[in-house]
Amino acid sequence: MKMDQNQERKEMLEVLPHIQRFAVSLTRNRADADDLLQNTVERILKKGIPDDADMKRWMFRVCKNIWIDEIRARRVRNNATDSGNITLHDRPEWEREIMGRMKLKQVKDAMENLPDEQRIVLSLITIEGFSYKEAAEILETPIGTVMSRLARARRNLANMFTPDPSTSPYSTNDAFRA
């Protein structure tokens, strides 16, 4: 059954803070995240959501797909330019100041060093609280892929914070490889 427009917009407003955090984790930049959030809302308001879709999961999926389209467009634009001096993810100083606490900044920086697939899965599951199944649906990928990406992300983060990777509980040097 189709929900009325007021109910749909109310649900959308409740999900916006989650989508905003997800957009920041995708873009690594507050300004780009704001643009991505706006594009997500515009697309959903324009095209609507399927009758059987969960608003929160649908918004995450739309956000992810818009970001993928943007990355592809940036690659095309970058390949078309003669200069290789374009930086896509410059951060304004105020963003660094907001991060304040040193540990939070270290974790943020470490997450940014993860491959996109690992960072996105880690963000969906550990920050947004989605289950493996829900993350798999959002990313349109098998649950096993989500689980292995999450395991690799956790291992990579642990290794970044361990002075000697051989002492990490996630070390790939031991007999119990993940």
Residue 84: CB atoms within 10 A of its CB come to 6
- pTM for the whole thing? 0.57
Query: pLDDT per residue over 51-95, tens digit each?
Result: 888 999 999 999 999 999 888 888 877 776 545 554 545 555 555
111 and 171 both lie in a single domain: yes
Q: Say if residue 58 is in the same domain as residue 122.
A: no
| CA 25 to mean position of chain CA atoms | 4
The pLDDT of residue 177 is: 38
Q: Tell me the residue type at 107.
A: V
Whether residue 123 sits in one domain with residue 66:
no
- If one counts the domains in the chain, the total is 2
pLDDT value at residue 117: 92
Domain of 83?
1-90
Residue 46 lies in a domain: yes
